[in-house]
């Protein structure tokens, strides 16, 4: 099945054409098949591992090993917790065993990640490595790179940062200026700066998009490459960029004549754009794109169960209907990834709809509870609302703004 969508071929339709059946009216079946990915298969294995994770989380909560928070895949850094997940085989789940993986399905991995997010568990340390750096290495890495790094990601001991955006290159990623040039020893020398690098200060490696040939105005996507960069190398400085509530998740990573060994090129020189694009289906389609604020919904559910207030129940119903639709979309993409597809356009769509949802949740709930949002609130719902609100600007920006995502969807609709 193709990753992109096609709508049915246009008909010779005049603007003032009255209704005609058939050619004009009866065409939904065709676009139905092409607009959506195939439904995800039912997975008993996924439901089994889901219950294992739930049991584990209940025990961890009872033991006080973590407190639930909002947006923990960005802000919940806890390397010890990540190692526990690694010990249980819940990192690198879909990778081959020879690289430390567990050869389980994307549906099983989906269930594990979803349970962790819903519980507000601290998963940020390993999140990027497990979600996209590992699959990227599997796809494009050398044998040595895979053997060296993948087993350590799977045990929860090696964390990654994404090095894409730059101070002057946000949505326009192809305009990046960090460059890598060969030196006399066959190594890369990197100069430039990356920003919005979540948790670089806790990470061991970055996959850094660099310009390896001069910019070509005729082909903006040419001349880019990905380097696997050990963040402890001399010449790298990691400077905090605090988000609006003072939290330190983002960084500026500056490269000043950093010598990266020649064998740390990831994939092919000049194929960086293509490789970055391939990451996006992983980056954009997961449950973290609609569950960042789920801990608020969980608190709200407890409140509505107590009050049985009809307005609160209706709001919970509306929120839940949106969430359930997003789950189905995300599951379909997980199934497509299992089939070896890279459904980038549906992934862009899920992220657009999902991140809009996770921000909307705050206001939907605010309208039916009499609880001011405050980090110092004695009410757990007030604290969750506050955390969600303070992180809300990020939901629809990170991983590609919703405007960029809608542009991708528009391309999938044949408009560009």
- Residue 6, interface with another protein (CB under 8 A)? no
Q: Among residues 155, 315, 389, 392, which is the contact residue for another protein, using CB under 8 A? A: 315
Q: For residue 112, what is the enclosing H or E element? A: helix 106-118
Q: Among residues 39, 167, 262, 372, which is the contact residue for another protein, using CB under 8 A? A: 39
Closest distance to another protein from the beta carbon of 313 (Å): 4
Backbone φ and ψ of 228, nearest 5°: -95, 110
Question: Which of positions 95-134 make contact with another protein (CB under 8 A)?
Answer: 114, 118-119
Distances (CA, A) of 233 to 53, 146, 179, 229, 256: 37, 20, 16, 8, 10
Closest distance to another protein from the beta carbon of 92 (Å): 23
Nearer to another protein, 121 or 224 (CB): 121
Number of residues that bind another protein (CB under 8 A): 78
- Residue 246, interface with another protein (CB under 8 A)? no
- Residue 171, interface with another protein (CB under 8 A)? no
CA dihedral 194, 198, 202, 206 (to 10 degrees): -50
Closest distance to another protein from the beta carbon of 371 (Å): 15
- Residue 232, interface with another protein (CB under 8 A)? no
The closest of 396, 346, 359 to 1, measured between CA atoms, is 346
> If you write DSSP's letter for every residue of 261-316 in order, what string do you get?
-GGGEES-TT-HHHHHHHHHHHHHHSGGGT-TTHHHHHHHHHHHHHH--HHHHHHH
- Residue 397, interface with another protein (CB under 8 A)? no
Nearest-angstrom CA–CA distance, 392 and 405: 18
Question: Which of positions 40-79 make contact with another protein (CB under 8 A)?
Answer: 50, 54
Closest distance to another protein from the beta carbon of 273 (Å): 22
Query: For residues 364 and 320, is the Cβ–Cβ distance under 8 A?
Result: no
Nearer to another protein, 166 or 352 (CB): 352
- Residue 414, interface with another protein (CB under 8 A)? yes
CA count, 13 A, side-chain hemisphere, 316: 18
State the residue for tokens 């405050």. Answer: 374
- Residue 24, interface with another protein (CB under 8 A)? yes
Which residues participate in catalysis according to the annotation? 283
């Amino acid at each position: 099945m193709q990753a992109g969508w096609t709508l049915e071929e246009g008909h010779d339709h005049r603007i003032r054409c009255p209704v005609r059946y058939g050619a004009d009216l009866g065409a939904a079946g065709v676009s139905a098949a092409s607009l959506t990915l195939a439904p995800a298969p039912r997975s008993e294995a996924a439901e089994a591992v889901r219950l294992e994770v739930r049991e584990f989380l209940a025990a961890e909560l009872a033991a006080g090993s973590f407190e639930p928070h909002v947006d923990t895949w960005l802000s919940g850094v806890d390397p010890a917790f990540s190692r526990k997940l690694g010990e249980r085989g819940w990192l690198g789940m879909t990778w081959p065993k020879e690289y430390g993986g567990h050869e389980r399905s994307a549906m099983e991995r989906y269930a594990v990640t979803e349970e962790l997010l819903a519980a507000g568990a601290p998963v940020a340390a390993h999140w990027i490595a497990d979600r996209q750096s590992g699959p990227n290495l599997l796809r494009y890495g050398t044998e040595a790179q895979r053997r060296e790094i993948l087993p350590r990601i799977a045990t929860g001991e090696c964390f990654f940062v994404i090095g894409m955006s730059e101070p002057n290159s946000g949505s326009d990623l192809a305009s990046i200026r960090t460059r890598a040039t060969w030196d006399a020893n066959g190594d890369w020398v990197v100069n430039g700066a990356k920003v919005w690098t979540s948790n670089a200060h806790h990470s061991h490696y970055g996959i850094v998009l660099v310009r390896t040939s001069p910019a070509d105005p005729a082909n903006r996507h040419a001349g880019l490459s990905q380097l696997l960069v050990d963040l402890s190398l001399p010449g790298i400085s990691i400077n905090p960029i605090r988000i609006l509530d003072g939290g330190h998740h983002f960084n500026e990573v500056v490269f000043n004549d950093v010598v990266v060994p020649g064998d740390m090129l990831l994939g092919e020189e000049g194929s960086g754009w293509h490789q970055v694009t391939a990451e996006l289906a992983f980056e954009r389609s997961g449950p973290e794109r609609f569950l960042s604020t789920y801990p608020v919904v969980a608190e709200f559910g407890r409140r509505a169960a107590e009050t049985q207030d009809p307005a609160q129940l209706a709001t919970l119903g509306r929120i839940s209907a949106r969430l359930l639709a997003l789950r189905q979309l995300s599951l379909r993409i997980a199934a497509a990834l299992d089939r070896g597809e890279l459904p980038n356009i549906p992934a862009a769509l899920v992220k657009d709809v999902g991140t809009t949802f996770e921000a909307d949740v705050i206001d939907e709930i605010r309208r039916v509870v009499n609880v001011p949002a405050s980090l110092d609130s004695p009410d757990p719902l007030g604290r969750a609302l506050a955390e969600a609100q303070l992180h809300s600007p990020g939901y629809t920006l990170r991983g590609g703004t919703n405007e960029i995502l809608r542009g991708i969807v528009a391309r999938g609709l044949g408009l560009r």
